[in-house]
Amino acid sequence: MRLEVVDDADWHDEAYRANDRGLFYARQIVGQVVSLAAALLGLVGTAGVLGVLHPALLPLLLLSVLPVGAAAVRTARARFHSFKRWNILQRRVRVFSWLLLERDAAAELRSDTAQGALLEEHHRLTTRIAEEDTRLGVSSAGLTLAGRAVGGIGTGITYSALGAMLIAGWLPLAAGAGAVLAIQSAQSTLTRLVDVSHMVYEHAMWVDDLLAFQERCRALQPRRSGLPAPETVKTITLDDVSFTYPDKDTPALNGISMTLHAGQTVAFVGVNGSGKSTCARLLAGLYEPQDGGTVRWDGVDVLDMDAESLQARVGCVLQDPVRFPFSALANLTVSRGTLTEADPQRALDAARASGAEQVIAGLPGRWEALLSKRFRGGQELSAGQWAKVAVARGLYKNAPVLLLDEPTASMDPRAEHAVYEAVLRDNPRPDQITVLISHRLASVVACDRIFVFDAGRITESGTHQELMDLDGEYASMFTLQAAGYRAEAEEAA
Ligand SMILES: Nc1ncnc2c1ncn2[C@@H]1O[C@H](COP(=O)(O)OP(=O)(O)OP(=O)(O)O)[C@@H](O)[C@H]1O
Ligand SMILES: [Mg+2]
């Protein structure tokens, strides 16, 4: 599934519904179709008996069953639409329940006394679910009652007609009792038929919903065809690249153009929400440019390349990296798509450069230590220690493009310095493009080129010195940060 899909709440609702209903009923519907066939066969038998007694009895029978059938179809539709609303609420309840139980949120919930607020929201949602249930119950009961009432009148008509036929001599008096029995048996078979078909009808709507969702998912798959991305890349060119998130009005990126060369380290800086991470995700092939903009690797449009092979060429340390509940080693190897196969030397090099080596050395079980308290025997790391593991994961991939999105934000100053020394200075790879996103401008001073983002556009670009000489936004941000350090240094002196 393409990445932008996860930002589409409707898609999540559909996925929840398909999982909760569609898959469940898809398994049940086969048995129900068999019951339907059995009920049909039973009906053919009793209808045959009635037909022999008198053909006029057959249409009369329908009078009592059709209203019940019509009510059942209406109820099935009402249930389907009600469950759609119900599922949306249910998914919300799940999200809140998860927040209330999940250990990542536990400390903040307690310290903010937000727990009460969440419980209240949980209660509000479950009340709405109960209201939805009641609404459905009342409307279904009303419909069923109406169906039965009209059906009852139909039954009355059927028996009156039978009486009239007996009096008129259309039927021999002796066949009357048999006819009553046949009518009763046909009615019960028909009622069973209506029950089963209404269930099949309702569940078929869910299976249909599941099939439509599967169809939608197929259309949202990443590109699986095209050229494989090259092993190495000399230049990456972004030309007039724009990107707007689903259901957003303003673009996150608006006409970005830049060229990155192998051997270069470039930096993206700018205020919160200016588009740096979005641009990094586009470079990583995680999003596709919109409105005719292009991203080219050595002149080849990435849209002509297989998406997965492109992503394999980009090592990412994204903002808020995932804390995989795997062993320390698997936390690195997962970037090369495996939890079981490892290159020990490469793992060691990556851990050394990122500072994760010391973290792992301090864990009972070392590389085998399970990094998750969710499971027995698991261990937890501090935020900065996790950041080191995430950088190690990015380095372990050893890809021609390396994206580091605020990788050191939670590291101590020494660890941060060590990462920059190791990643940006000690290991310069002539064939690698490194993109660094950072709010600490001291760390981008040595970058070959700095791009300043503002509201989805690049407003300034150049080396640190060029941007300082320009005396624009970058110079003002840099001076502000430097002044903070200087003032503290002066106070200390
Ligand atoms: N998943 C998303 N769905 C919708 N809008 C998003 C999403 N991610 C980011 N945005 C919006 O896109 C714009 C750019 O966000 P982006 O994350 O690229 O900024 P950034 O420069 O990395 O900011 P920061 O310094 O805070 O990390 C912002 O207005 C943000 O609100
Ligand atoms: Mg960001």
The pLDDT of residue 489 is 63
Our answer on whether the CB atom of 228 is closer than 6 Å to any ligand 1 atom is no
Closest approach atom of ligand 1 to CA 275: 18
Closest approach atom of ligand 1 to CA 268: 21
> pLDDT confidence of 26, banded at 50, 70, 90?
confident
- What is the mean predicted confidence (pLDDT) over 440-466? 93
The pLDDT of residue 443 is 86
- Is the pLDDT at 308 greater than 70? The verdict is yes
Residue 105 CA to ligand 1 centre (angstroms): 22
Residue 3 CA to ligand 1 centre (angstroms): 14
The pLDDT of residue 211 is 94
Our answer on whether the CB atom of 278 is closer than 6 Å to any ligand 1 atom is yes
Ligand 1 pocket mutation, candidates 8, 272, 435, criterion most atoms within 8 A of CB = 272
- Distance between alpha carbon 448 and the CA centroid of its chain, in Å? 37
Least Cα distance to 436 among 267, 317, 277, 314 occurs for 267
The pLDDT of residue 359 is 93
Our answer on whether the CB atom of 252 is closer than 6 Å to any ligand 1 atom is yes
Per-residue CA distances from 28 to 86, 357, 429 (Å): 21, 52, 58
Residue 455 CA to ligand 1 centre (angstroms): 10
Q: In angstroms, how far is the first alpha carbon of the chain from the final one?
A: 57
Burial category of 145 from C-beta neighbours within 10 Å (exposed 0-12, middle 13-18, buried 19 and up): exposed
Q: Whose CA is nearest to atom 20 of ligand 1?
A: 273
- Is the pLDDT at 158 greater than 70? The verdict is yes
The pLDDT of residue 397 is 92
Least-confidence region, from 176-185, 213-222, 302-311 = 176-185
Closest approach atom of ligand 1 to CA 281: 18
Query: Which ligand approaches the C-alpha of residue 256 most closely?
Result: 1
Write out pLDDT tens, residues 75-105.
Answer: 888 889 999 898 999 999 998 888 888 888 8
Our answer on whether the CB atom of 59 is closer than 6 Å to any ligand 1 atom is no
The pLDDT of residue 427 is 61
Lookup: tokens for 32:
């129900």
Q: Is the distance from CB of 159 to CB of 179 less than 8 angstroms?
A: no
Q: What is the mean pLDDT of the chain?
A: 88
The pLDDT of residue 358 is 92
Q: Structural domains in the chain?
A: 3-219 (1.20.1560.10), 235-492 (3.40.50.300)
Q: How far apart are CA 173 and CA 171, in angstroms?
A: 6
Contacts of residue 29, defined as CB under 8 A and 6 or more positions apart, other chains included, come to 200, 203, 204, 207
Q: Whose CA is nearest to atom 1 of ligand 1?
A: 7
> pLDDT confidence of 391, banded at 50, 70, 90?
very high
> pLDDT confidence of 492, banded at 50, 70, 90?
low
Least-confidence region, from 228-237, 314-323, 418-427, 466-475 = 418-427
- What is the mean predicted confidence (pLDDT) over 283-295? 88
Q: Is the distance from CB of 306 to CB of 226 less than 8 angstroms?
A: yes
Given the structure tokens 């209660």, which residue do they identify? Answer: 123
Ligand 1 pocket mutation, candidates 256, 277, 441, criterion most atoms within 8 A of CB = 277
- What is the mean predicted confidence (pLDDT) over 267-296? 91
Question: What does the longest C-alpha to C-alpha distance in the chain come to?
Answer: 122
- What is the mean predicted confidence (pLDDT) over 155-165? 85
The pLDDT of residue 426 is 65
Our answer on whether the CB atom of 272 is closer than 6 Å to any ligand 1 atom is yes
Of 37-46, 279-288, 379-388, 445-454, the range with the highest mean pLDDT is 445-454
Q: How far apart are CA 182 and CA 46, in angstroms?
A: 6
Contacts of residue 413, defined as CB under 8 A and 6 or more positions apart, other chains included, come to none
Our answer on whether the CB atom of 458 is closer than 6 Å to any ligand 1 atom is no
> pLDDT confidence of 484, banded at 50, 70, 90?
confident
- What is the mean predicted confidence (pLDDT) over 273-295? 91
- What is the mean predicted confidence (pLDDT) over 149-155? 86
The pLDDT of residue 192 is 84
- Is the pLDDT at 491 greater than 80? The verdict is no
